[in-house]
Amino acid sequence: MIYGLFDHYTSKSPSQYETHCFGDCSGCVCFNAMKKDIPSQDETFCQIALLFLMTQETEHCISSLIGMIYPEGKPSWEEIEKLDKNPLGQLINKLKERADMNDKFIRLLTVFLEGRNIFVHNLYRQEWFDTNTEEGRDAIWNFLDTYGKILWEVNHIAKAAIFKHTESIGMPETEYDKKMKETGYLDLIKSYYSKADFAFKRRNQ
């Protein structure tokens, strides 16, 4: 078993992903397309770069979310900045301390963390990682497709929770919000509100 728990997901065919993802992944347009041809080396590197940036954004979203789900009073900026510097595993543990989370969402976070650690720290060390051959790139994309789906879900659930919180406290609309409305991306985030509600709730103190 190369992937540990993550191997349970990477061994599935694309048609089976939705069975194991947190809810319906039909909105994951970026990751649903079946690849007819094995991508080139340049395309593979571009996808790795895209997922790396999205991974960083997701970690930032989780740290911001923890700052909002606070047990006692409003968090200081110093606390939020400190959270943003913590490793992802510590952030997830902190999130578990501050919120009551659905078991299915906890499993999603666990699988995401395992996939993220492979992706960020050990991707090039995997025995199947070879960008020079079609067989190697096919194996890489099998991993990237699976990790990308899970990353997409965690990213958008966290964003949905953040945006819903800002709406609930009456935070004024920003230029960033306006741009998101213009592109239609804000509607996509709002479509994840029900998943965010199901994933966790602020713990009553």
Residue with token string 């992903």: 17
The SS3 of residue 85 is: coil
Other CB atoms closer than 10 Å to residue 103's CB: what's the count?
7
| pLDDT tens, per residue, the chain with 205 residues | 223 334 433 443 333 333 334 444 444 444 444 445 899 999 999 999 999 999 999 988 887 777 776 555 555 555 555 555 556 667 677 777 767 788 888 889 889 988 998 999 999 999 999 999 999 999 999 999 999 999 999 999 999 988 888 888 888 888 888 898 899 999 999 999 999 988 876 555 4
Which region holds residue 11: left if phi is over 0, alpha if psi is between -120 and 50, else beta? alpha
**Is the distance from CB of 66 to CB of 91 less than 8 angstroms?**
yes
pTM (global) more than 0.75: no
The SS3 of residue 101 is: strand
Calpha distance 198→104 (Å, rounded): 10
Other CB atoms closer than 10 Å to residue 27's CB: what's the count?
14
